[in-house]
Chain A
Amino acid sequence: MAKTETKKHTPLLHIVKRDQGSLTWYNRLLVRGIAILAALLVAGVLITLLTGKNPIQVYGSMVSGVFGSPRRIWNMLQGLAMLLCVSLAVTPAFKMKFWNIGAEGQVLISGLACVATMMFLGDKMPTVVLLLVMTAASVLAGMIWAVLPAVFKAYWNTNETLFTLMMNYVATQLVAYFLKVFVKDGSGVLTPMPQYGLPVLGNQAYLLNILLVALLTVLVYVYLKYSKQGYEIAVVGESENTARYIGINVKKVIIRTLLVSGAMCGLAGLLLVGGTNHTISTTTVGGRGFTAIMVSWLAKFNPLYMVLTSFLVIFLEKGAQQVSTDFRISSSISDIITGIILLFIIGCEFFLQYRVVMRKNRKENA
């Protein structure tokens, strides 16, 4: 290095952090919009290369898969509501920088609690009581699954990412065990029990779910933005030391937040099992616990933006499913497209946070 010191070496490009608020909101929107467009373009080119079809047709097929018929729109809304519900559930924890990647397991175990209640108590109590017990069981199960890692994190600083990840598989295996023990015919497939499900509003099977999640979105927004607890979560997330200095009990906040988070996962489990499937399998949650993390993070933990980001993910998922049926290609194309778009959006955050500065001309400097 000593030799090159004499010659001033400036890199061609260098990176500078942007000041907070130096970008206007429409500039931010523009960058994200460009990222999504670029990603759609790449995905379109990819599908065209793989299938040899006109990309316009491919996009058309995607749109029709999402908005093509009232049934498809309802399916899209239901998918949106479920993903949004899980995303809302993980948000308080993430805002606190508690990397809970165990939503998958938390939702699944609540679903298991819900289905067990339906199965064993369904014919033993009146509907209203049953619904209350189902709700209580699901919420409680979600809370237990979430608070275990939180307690260890709070007291012994145990790595929560890995702890919650492992809890997912414990939940999956418990469901597998349950299905083998209690499904009498040995098929491992539990017959749906719609008679014990949540009430159906106005003949639309998914309406209740959608309304409940809409309500939850507003509640979480208010909780995080305007309540004292929400403020404490934000402070702990920004700096634990600051939080301790101003007299916030960090341990208490961590445990309390994860109880809230787990309770919302419990609600998601209730809606998925009690309100939608009326049965359970090991894949009931279907990766939503992981996708929700990306949805929440992309929305910068703002519940209102989360409606948009989860719409984006659901649009891609349903659209790509339609593409795969229309053009007879492997259904895995849906995962590929979702992955590509997520990576593009993750990458574009860089341009919102940092500026790339070109090396200035020597003469200008002198």
Chain B
Amino acid sequence: MLAFLVSAIRLGMTFLLGSTGETITEKSGHLNLGIPGVMCVGAACGCYAEYMYFTAVGSNIIPLLAVVIPLLAALLGGALMGLLFSFLTVTLRANQNVTGLAITTLGVGMSEYIIDEASTIFTKGSKYFTASLPFADDLGWFGELFLDYGVFVYLALIIAVSTTYVLNRTRVGLHLRAVGENPATADAAGINVSRYRYVATCVGCGIAGLGGLSFIMDYLNGNWEYCVDAIGWLAIALVIFTVWKPNLAIIGSIVFGALYVASSYIVGVSFAGKELFKMLPYIVTILVLVVTSMRSKKNQPPAALGLPYFREER
């Protein structure tokens, strides 16, 4: 049971990073379907940076750098993909859905290329990411459940909580939400719509890139698998599941993680039944989507989600 929860939380944090990134993006009115590609690129950039670092320094590895360099690389890789997306959708006013899908194609291709150039095993680097507090093991179940994690779990929690704070309690967050709800009004109030959309998308994609890296380095212990994009689609689903609230996403991501790993932990599920189990996160998301659309006006997606904004077209 404990192992199940720990595993659900570790996977959940990947979802949490991805969905927090997508929430920030969607709050600005961008429906970025490129997130799966962005997460792939983030993962690949992080892994490649780790590979380069290890080849460069040989055996004198500084643990802090072994963690910080891949993190920065993943953040940068994701943000650059976000920049590409915003350039096309904001500056060139391209259709967001189509652009997002093209970004996903490109991102998946790029990440596979990068990984094929480097290596698919990053277990050596993964050790630095999964290293937990030294006394965590001595505290029994409490330590195992709350303290025995690598850096990513805490990073994801900090990012989700601070995103909630920024979105709901600061002027920047208010402006961002205004841009996503009604860009014309925001523009009239003197908010630079384009700038908010650019920054929100790049920051969101950077965070999603971290999510991709956490999947490889933390959940898979450094063994690359060509399925980061599937995780990315689930991260988008999680945004809806948690009705655009990163603080709800903390619980939601653990639920998603639990649903995803449940089939391996529940005794008595047949080999084939596991495939039906894996369907659960998607079905639950559909149900949430349907229920929120039937209910009152609360918990709706940002009103301008997916719509381009061009001042002269009002």
Contact = CB atoms under 8 A, between A and B. Distances in A.
Interface stretch (A212-220, A264-272, A347-355): A347-355
Most chain-B Cβ atoms within 10 A of its Cβ — which of A170, A186, A346, A353? A346
Contacts of B93: 350, 353-354
B95 A159 contact: no
Contacts of A287: 105
A290 B110 CA distance: 18
Contacts of A333: 109, 113
Given A162-B240, A169-B233, A294 B102 contact: yes
B138 interface: no
Given A162-B236, A169-B279, A346-B99, A335 B293 contact: no
A180 B272 contact: yes
Interface residues of B, number: 52
B95 A297 contact: yes
B104 A290 contact: yes
B92 interface: yes
Nearest to A149: B286
A343 B276 contact: no
A122 to B, nearest CB: 22
Nearest to A290: B101
A346 B282 CA distance: 30
Contacts of B108: 332, 335
Interface in A314-366: 330, 332-340, 342-343, 346-347, 349-350, 353-354
A109 to B, nearest CB: 13
Contact of B109 (A15, A166, A167, A335): A335
Interface string B214-234: 000000000000000000010
Contacts, number: 148
B113 A330 contact: yes
A1 interface: yes
A177 interface: yes
B282 A166 contact: yes
Contacts of A330: 112-113, 116-117
A340 B37 CA distance: 13
A31 interface: no
Contact of A159 (B84, B92, B104, B301): B301
A94 to B, nearest CB: 9
A169 B282 contact: yes
Contacts of B293: 152, 156-159
Interface string A142-181: 0000000000100011110111011101100110110011
A244 interface: no
Contact of A101 (B33, B91, B105, B240): B33
A156 B275 contact: no
Contacts of B116: 330, 332
A99 interface: yes
A252 interface: no
Most chain-B Cβ atoms within 10 A of its Cβ — which of A166, A174, A334, A346? A166
Contacts of B105: 287, 290-291, 335, 338-339, 342
B173 interface: no
Contact of A163 (B109, B278, B286): B286
A176 B275 contact: yes
Interface in B189-218: 190
B237 A162 contact: yes
B92 A347 contact: yes
Interface string A289-300: 011011001000
A165 B279 contact: no
Interface in B228-252: 233, 236-237, 240
Contact of A165 (B103, B233, B313): B233
B109 A334 contact: yes
Contacts of A72: none
Contacts of A338: 105-106, 109
A328 B285 CA distance: 42
Given A330-B112, A346-B88, A166 B286 contact: yes
A289 to B, nearest CB: 10
A186 B103 CA distance: 37
A284 to B, nearest CB: 16
A167 B286 contact: yes
B109 A173 contact: no
A225 interface: no
Contacts of A16: 312
A17 interface: yes
B101 A294 contact: yes
B101 A17 contact: no
Nearest to A157: B293
Nearest to B281: A169
Interface string A180-192: 1100001000000
Given A17-B312, A170-B283, A333-B113, A156 B103 contact: no
A121 B216 CA distance: 44
Nearest to B276: A177
A173 B272 CA distance: 10
B291 to A, nearest CB: 9
B165 interface: no
B279 A336 contact: no
21 contacts: A159-B293, A162-B240, A163-B289, A165-B237, A166-B285, A170-B279, A177-B272, A290-B101, A294-B98, A294-B102, A335-B106, A335-B108, A338-B105, A338-B106, A339-B102, A339-B105, A339-B106, A342-B102, A342-B106, A346-B88, A347-B92
The 8 closest A-B pairs by CB, nearest first: A339-B106, A335-B109, A332-B112, A180-B272, A350-B92, A330-B116, A336-B109, A158-B293
Given A173-B275, A336-B113, A339-B107, 15 more contacts: A99-B97, A152-B290, A156-B290, A162-B289, A173-B279, A174-B279, A330-B116, A332-B113, A335-B112, A336-B106, A338-B105, A339-B103, A342-B106, A343-B88, A343-B102
